[in-house]
Amino acid sequence: MCRWLAYSGTPILLDSLLYKPTPSLIDQSLHARLGVETTNGDGFGVGWYGPRADTPAIVREIGPAWSSRNLREIARHVRSPLFFAHIRASTGSAVQETNCHPFRHGRWMWMHNGAITDFHRMRRDLALAVDPELFLSVEGSTDSELMFYLALTFGLEQDPPGAVARMVGLVERVGREHGVEYPLQMTVAVTDGRRLWAFRYSTQRASRSLFYSTRVETLRSLHPDVEFLREASDETRLIVSEPLGGLPGMWNEVPEGRYGVVQPEGDGMARFAPQPMEEMQERSPEGEGSAISSRRAR
Amino acid sequence: MCRWLAYSGTPILLDSLLYKPTPSLIDQSLHARLGVETTNGDGFGVGWYGPRADTPAIVREIGPAWSSRNLREIARHVRSPLFFAHIRASTGSAVQETNCHPFRHGRWMWMHNGAITDFHRMRRDLALAVDPELFLSVEGSTDSELMFYLALTFGLEQDPPGAVARMVGLVERVGREHGVEYPLQMTVAVTDGRRLWAFRYSTQRASRSLFYSTRVETLRSLHPDVEFLREASDETRLIVSEPLGGLPGMWNEVPEGRYGVVQPEGDGMARFAPQPMEEMQERSPEGEGSAISSRRAR
Amino acid sequence: MCRWLAYSGTPILLDSLLYKPTPSLIDQSLHARLGVETTNGDGFGVGWYGPRADTPAIVREIGPAWSSRNLREIARHVRSPLFFAHIRASTGSAVQETNCHPFRHGRWMWMHNGAITDFHRMRRDLALAVDPELFLSVEGSTDSELMFYLALTFGLEQDPPGAVARMVGLVERVGREHGVEYPLQMTVAVTDGRRLWAFRYSTQRASRSLFYSTRVETLRSLHPDVEFLREASDETRLIVSEPLGGLPGMWNEVPEGRYGVVQPEGDGMARFAPQPMEEMQERSPEGEGSAISSRRAR
Amino acid sequence: MCRWLAYSGTPILLDSLLYKPTPSLIDQSLHARLGVETTNGDGFGVGWYGPRADTPAIVREIGPAWSSRNLREIARHVRSPLFFAHIRASTGSAVQETNCHPFRHGRWMWMHNGAITDFHRMRRDLALAVDPELFLSVEGSTDSELMFYLALTFGLEQDPPGAVARMVGLVERVGREHGVEYPLQMTVAVTDGRRLWAFRYSTQRASRSLFYSTRVETLRSLHPDVEFLREASDETRLIVSEPLGGLPGMWNEVPEGRYGVVQPEGDGMARFAPQPMEEMQERSPEGEGSAISSRRAR
């Protein structure tokens, strides 16, 4: 599997979260404690929004994060109000930049920890369900990227939780068709550069860990001497695969089968349930596939 | 585009053809003379059959061939009776090992110079035509790999020229459906470890260059002092994108729209013509796609 | 050899100079016109100063610049008032990040096009002349990096032109000791983040090309319709191995044996001559080597 | 630190030792049990002697061994009677091919697990002690490569145990001069393609683990059903950083401060003690440095 972090809030150097905490995300590339694999050395990526750019910058490398000098350089010099970082442990697909997270489409970024069980057997069916025009942009061979393009096909840009629910519904249906008992395991983060969603779900209801940071004002009263907290805006929020640093009271587990949204209008959390694809098929009888029709119907 | 060479004959060190001739294939990675691009620096690959192994070894790297120390080491120490070498100039798809040639399936190896015009637009339709079971093995994002899997779908292992003709027929049909005037440009080499086929074809009838070496006994009488020729068996044959070395009388151009076969039973050359896919569709009315049905019908 | 550019002026996206001009530096990685090699595909690097950081960020990769997606991402999202970019054509030393330019020491950056003739024979003597404390920081195996550390040894931080003159004097003396007729060929750029120096020199007085941009106010009157010129500050200046873009009146050749300085106090150009090392030895009789003593004497 | 294995005996596929045992060396790249670091993901290398070549082939990559497809290909297709394999965990120096083991000089190969304490401070003094002509070939920045070139300087090709003893003597003397209490930690393997030496030593007498395989005839009687043992010649021997596979009776620890030799004339083991460098200096009063003189005196 993998480890990731998503940050939204007061602009900070990437360094502050990638390297400075103990343990940091980079430490987790060598010694993750809560992951299925302890080593996440099969490439990494960072994606960040700048002050002016519409689309995020994405830098990915195929070597381990712990020894990348370029990552260290970028982390020390790039400041951003919203960024993703991801360290990869391949579950089989090739170690190449196009398989490293985050993935980008227009102003959207996506990253994933988990796996589609027996993905290679389902890959063709899932690829077929991607909108043909979007399919042009699929570059790698991971389940994660295909999940992103399925979510885009199902309306991610209009309704992220709904689109992810439909994507999961499809994966589970195709999984069942291939005789897979527990097709999906995922924690996903997705953003449009303004709002940030994070999902924790698995078919088996035994999802990989996911944590969100306590509200800054609460942390500030708990730790009045921590400088970063004095500077951080109240909206600052961090979502991570496993806790970084050692500040007591900092982390809260996202419950099983939930998603959260971090946004200027106020953060929130809600139950997450896949949307069964049978239901969708009824609504789109005319098309080649339900997925595509559902998109075209909008 | 790319440059490639295919060798079959007396076992030799890869070095003898990759580095020693002037110009050599490695020289062509920096300064090809007949290619569309003069630089072929977007990765490379070599594939060779050993004395016992059923399947070829394939080593690929994403850096330029001219600076690879590993390629030099392998070339100086590996001796083989049948090997492929390929240097890549990407026409758009990512520079990653899974996009480097040769591609392998079981005991088969495939490499390509050329391109499918507007490939990104046709990619989905072509991917759909690949046998679903074979599709599991597609790893990269090139037109070249997909052409290989289409040829496998269409019976490459039973009838290489026929399967390639059907693959080309499909590419041209899908191209026309997408309004592409000249969908295909290719020189292809393919082998099962015993026989070797090479194809030169383009829709426009203006194909990339392709050359085969003169018969060893003829060369031997022309150049009685060349040591390699004294040692080489009569069956030794070389097929290349553009001539290596400077031996007069060594190279003959493969004519436009032809394919050749190098085999213990005697080499040969024949006209190559795409097999229109309409014809195939008639034979497989029941299936989702003609390609797959045509294979299943075997 | 290599190609490089150095920019100082109104903060711009790196993209504006690395990719947008025709030809751009990235074009020159495939097809340099004035270089000894036409291909500069043995790694690259960019180094930039940010709004707050004391030291520049340096990102280097071992693949060709033309296919690097990370370079493109960084170029599109990083804005800087002072940056270097370098594309490498190795003259023999390994293709590895520690051999890519620019090199950094504290707030200083250095990059080089050219070579020390028969460097491998002189390498030990030159390495010995580096201040032992500075020697700890030498990481790669290039002549270029060693020239930087020699210049640092000889007082680069206090007197850049003098230190470079002493470095060149040493290289030429060691060269003569090894029977090398023309030991040095160089165009060098060096900066402390505020001022920028560029040197053009070769023992043979036949140096690689070097150009500086015309004053912005002159260009503005020549090309009143070019938007960039309207926005660029009067201090904006560019120094390049070979011209970028096609704006008439834009480029002026740095004459043979000259160096220039770009600085807020006003730019300037002066003759450059190596400082013979014999003279230095007289001043430092007590030490193991003249170079080190000369530094200690400060 | 690192993990390594050295094999001498009946020609086998590299695969048999790199991948097939449980645990294998490749497993140890992710989860070493006896190493200081559990992860050895900072590059790897294999070096092998072929049937005819005088010098070994060496293939090295900067990525982790566990995800290298090229290593897997080579391991499955290359058969050798004498080979080294090494997986690296950097103790600070850059992750680049020139820092990966094994190192080669002519027909000699060298690999190392361990470190020179505070190497960066001693590096210059140690580099100075390398024979100037040999120094031309130093390419990387590791302590391990410098130890090899020091041993070569001190007569490795004539007297491997003596040369290694002198190298260690020098490292310890230079270490003491820099106030380092325990300068050296090493297990080293070195071969000329016919004989193979392995050393276990550390200044602190607390050396990294090292094991050698039990004699084949003994193993054969213990495990009459293991096929490989029936085929392996009596001279077959394996030396490893930590045990591979799970065959009872297979492994014996090399005692602290010992070295072993594997050779056709019969294997052996002896005490290893550094040769103090003071003694050497007396014998070479005329030279610049004792090391170089000692070599010249031969």
Which helix (H) or strand (E) element contains residue A167? helix A160-177
Nearest residue on chain D to B55, alpha-carbon basis: D77
pLDDT, one tens digit per residue, over B240-253 is: 999 998 888 999 99
Q: What is the pLDDT of residue C282?
A: 38
**CA neighbor of D109 nearest in space, from D221, D1, D6:** D6
pLDDT, one tens digit per residue, over C166-184 is: 999 999 999 999 999 999 9
**CA neighbor of C281 nearest in space, from C132, C151, C146, C129:** C129
**Gap from B30 CA to chain C (nearest CA, Å):** 7
Q: What is the pLDDT of residue C51?
A: 79
- Where helices occur in chain C by DSSP H, the ranges are 15-18, 25-31, 69-77, 119-129, 132-135, 143-153, 160-177, 216-222, 227-231, 277-283, 290-296
Q: In whole angstroms, give the CA distance from residue C135 to residue C124.
A: 12
pLDDT over 70, % of chain A: 91
What are the DSSP calls for D191-241, one per residue? E-SS-EEEEEEETTS-PPP-EEEPPHHHHHHH-TT-HHHHHS-TT-EEEES
Best interface-test mutation with C: which of B28, B39, B61, B87 has the largest number of C CBs within 10 A? B39
> Chain A partners of D69 at a C-beta cutoff of 8 Å?
94
Which helix (H) or strand (E) element contains residue D96? none
pLDDT of residue B9 exceeding 60, the answer is yes
Among the residue ranges A193-197, B255-259, B293-297, the one predicted with the least confidence is B293-297
Yes or no, beta carbons of B69 and D76 under 8 Å apart:
no
**CA neighbor of B148 nearest in space, from B211, B182, B106:** B106
Phi-psi region of C178 (alpha: psi -120 to 50; beta: other; left: phi over 0): alpha
Q: Tokens 């620890």, residue? A: D253
Is residue D285 very low, low, confident or very high in pLDDT (cuts 50, 70, 90)? very low
Q: In whole angstroms, give the CA distance from residue B138 to residue B53.
A: 23
> Is the minimum CB–CB distance between C41 and chain B shorter than 8 Å?
yes
Q: What is the pLDDT of residue A31?
A: 81
- Can you tell me the mean pLDDT for B126-143? 95
Q: What is the pLDDT of residue C294?
A: 40
Per the CB < 8 A criterion, the answer to whether A89 and B104 are in contact is no
> Chain A partners of B128 at a C-beta cutoff of 8 Å?
128
Best interface-test mutation with D: which of B60, B70, B84, B100 has the largest number of D CBs within 10 A? B70
Q: What is the pLDDT of residue D53?
A: 62
Token digits of residue A156: 């991610």
pLDDT, one tens digit per residue, over C68-88 is: 999 999 999 999 999 999 999
Q: In whole angstroms, give the CA distance from residue C101 to residue C83.
A: 12
Nearest residue on chain C to D118, alpha-carbon basis: C136
Q: In whole angstroms, give the CA distance from residue D84 to residue D281.
A: 34
pLDDT, one tens digit per residue, over C239-262 is: 999 999 888 899 999 999 999 999
The SS3 call for residue B17 is helix
> Is the minimum CB–CB distance between B64 and chain C shorter than 8 Å?
yes
Nearest residue on chain C to D119, alpha-carbon basis: C136
Q: In whole angstroms, give the CA distance from residue D53 to residue A108.
A: 55
pLDDT, one tens digit per residue, over B220-246 is: 888 888 877 888 898 999 999 999 988
Nearest residue on chain D to C133, alpha-carbon basis: D121
Q: What is the pLDDT of residue C35?
A: 66
> Is the minimum CB–CB distance between A41 and chain D shorter than 8 Å?
yes
pLDDT of residue A289 exceeding 70, the answer is no
Among the residue ranges B110-119, C279-288, D39-48, the one predicted with the least confidence is C279-288
CB pairs < 8 Å spanning A and B: 41
pLDDT over 90, % of chain B: 73
Q: In whole angstroms, give the CA distance from residue C165 to residue C274.
A: 4
Q: What chains are in contact with C, requiring at least 3 Cβ pairs below 8 Å?
A: A, B, D
> Chain D partners of B77 at a C-beta cutoff of 8 Å?
48, 50, 53, 57
The SS3 call for residue C216 is helix
Q: What is the pLDDT of residue D237?
A: 95
Token digits of residue C204: 């043979």
Token digits of residue B262: 């190098």
Is residue A142 very low, low, confident or very high in pLDDT (cuts 50, 70, 90)? very high
The SS3 call for residue C8 is strand
**Gap from D63 CA to chain A (nearest CA, Å):** 6
ipTM confidence: 0.91
Q: In whole angstroms, give the CA distance from residue A235 to residue B172.
A: 56
Nearest residue on chain A to D89, alpha-carbon basis: A67
pLDDT, one tens digit per residue, over C113-134 is: 999 999 999 999 999 999 999 9
Token digits of residue D293: 């003189």
**CA neighbor of A103 nearest in space, from A149, A66, A70:** A149
Nearest residue on chain B to D97, alpha-carbon basis: B69
> Chain C partners of B44 at a C-beta cutoff of 8 Å?
none
Yes or no, beta carbons of A140 and B141 under 8 Å apart:
yes
- Can you tell me the mean pLDDT for D6-31? 91
Q: What is the pLDDT of residue B280?
A: 43
pLDDT, one tens digit per residue, over A168-208 is: 999 999 999 999 999 999 999 999 999 999 999 999 999 99
> Is the minimum CB–CB distance between B92 and chain A shorter than 8 Å?
no
> Chain B partners of D78 at a C-beta cutoff of 8 Å?
57, 78
The SS3 call for residue A30 is helix
What are the DSSP calls for A239-259, one per residue? EESS--S--TT-EEEPPTTEE
Among the residue ranges B251-265, C47-61, C217-231, the one predicted with the least confidence is C217-231
Per the CB < 8 A criterion, the answer to whether A90 and A101 are in contact is no
- pLDDT, chain B, mean: 89
What are the angstrom distances between the C-alpha of B61 and each of A244, B76, D14, D58? 36, 17, 20, 15
Cβ-nearest to C94 among D98, D123, D135: D98
Yes or no, beta carbons of C63 and B63 under 8 Å apart:
yes
Give residue D75's Cα distance to chain centre. Answer: 19
> Chain B partners of A94 at a C-beta cutoff of 8 Å?
96-98, 139
Three-state secondary structure readout of D252-295: EECCCCEEEEECCCCCEEEECCCCCHHHHHHHCCCCCCHHHHHH
Q: In whole angstroms, give the CA distance from residue C101 to residue B206.
A: 43
pLDDT of residue C54 exceeding 90, the answer is no
pLDDT of residue B292 exceeding 60, the answer is no
pLDDT over 70, % of chain D: 91
> Chain C partners of D141 at a C-beta cutoff of 8 Å?
98, 138-140
Q: What chains are in contact with D, requiring at least 3 Cβ pairs below 8 Å?
A: A, B, C
How many residues does the structure list for chain D? 298
- Can you tell me the mean pLDDT for C272-285? 64
Which helix (H) or strand (E) element contains residue C246? none
Q: In whole angstroms, give the CA distance from residue C241 to residue D263.
A: 57
How many residues does the structure list for chain B? 298
Q: In whole angstroms, give the CA distance from residue A225 to residue A242.
A: 24
Sequence-distant contacts of A220-229: CB under 8 A, at least 24 apart: A222/A248, A222/A249, A223/A247, A223/A249, A228/A12, A228/A16
> Is the minimum CB–CB distance between D67 and chain A shorter than 8 Å?
yes
Domain ranges of chain C: 2-293
> Is the minimum CB–CB distance between D269 and chain B shorter than 8 Å?
no
Q: Tokens 């790694």, residue? A: C43
- Can you tell me the mean pLDDT for D132-159? 96
Which carries the bigger pLDDT value, residue D288 or residue B45?
B45
- A 10 A CB-CB count for B221 gives 11
Phi-psi region of D284 (alpha: psi -120 to 50; beta: other; left: phi over 0): beta
Strands of B89-141, DSSP E: 103-105, 108-116
- pLDDT, chain A, mean: 90
> Is the minimum CB–CB distance between B90 and chain C shorter than 8 Å?
yes
Q: In whole angstroms, give the CA distance from residue B40 to residue B23.
A: 14
Among the residue ranges A89-103, A141-155, B186-200, the one predicted with the least confidence is A89-103
pLDDT of residue D239 exceeding 90, the answer is yes
Cβ-nearest to D50 among B59, B69, B77: B77
pLDDT of residue A295 exceeding 60, the answer is no
Is residue A292 very low, low, confident or very high in pLDDT (cuts 50, 70, 90)? very low
Which residue type is seen at A17? Answer: L
Q: In whole angstroms, give the CA distance from residue B53 to residue A132.
A: 41
> Chain B partners of A140 at a C-beta cutoff of 8 Å?
141
Per the CB < 8 A criterion, the answer to whether C84 and C102 are in contact is yes
**Residue partners of C57: CB distance under 8 A and separation at least 6:** A73, A74, A76, A77, A78, C47, C48, C50, C78
**In this structure, are strands C237-240 and C2-13 parallel, antiparallel, or unpaired?**
antiparallel
- pLDDT, chain C, mean: 90
Which residue type is seen at D90? Answer: S
pLDDT of residue A16 exceeding 60, the answer is yes
Is residue B92 very low, low, confident or very high in pLDDT (cuts 50, 70, 90)? confident
pLDDT, one tens digit per residue, over D100-137 is: 999 999 999 999 999 999 999 999 999 999 999 999 99
Nearest residue on chain A to C76, alpha-carbon basis: A57
The pTM is what?
0.92
What are the angstrom distances between the C-alpha of A166 and each of A169, A190, A197, A294, B248? 5, 15, 15, 10, 66
Cβ-nearest to A41 among D41, D62, D94: D41
**CA neighbor of D149 nearest in space, from D173, D131, D172:** D131
Nearest residue on chain C to A71, alpha-carbon basis: C59
The answer to whether the Cα torsion of C33, C36, C42, C47 is positive or negative is: negative
Token digits of residue C37: 């090699």
> Chain D partners of A66 at a C-beta cutoff of 8 Å?
41
Q: What is the pLDDT of residue D284?
A: 41
Per the CB < 8 A criterion, the answer to whether D298 and D158 are in contact is yes
pLDDT of residue B282 exceeding 60, the answer is no
Q: What is the pLDDT of residue A92?
A: 81
Which residue type is seen at D115? Answer: A
**Residue partners of B171: CB distance under 8 A and separation at least 6:** B116, B122, B126, B147, B150, B183, B184
Q: In whole angstroms, give the CA distance from residue D47 to residue D87.
A: 12
Yes or no, beta carbons of B97 and A96 under 8 Å apart:
yes
Per the CB < 8 A criterion, the answer to whether B251 and B241 are in contact is no
Q: What chains are in contact with A, requiring at least 3 Cβ pairs below 8 Å?
A: B, C, D
Token digits of residue A126: 């899932």
CATH number of D2-293: 3.60.20.10
pLDDT of residue B296 exceeding 60, the answer is no
Q: Tokens 């041209």, residue? A: B172
- Can you tell me the mean pLDDT for A2-30? 92
Token digits of residue C282: 């007289």
Phi-psi region of A11 (alpha: psi -120 to 50; beta: other; left: phi over 0): beta
**CA neighbor of A29 nearest in space, from D38, C217, C245, B250:** D38
Is residue B256 very low, low, confident or very high in pLDDT (cuts 50, 70, 90)? very high
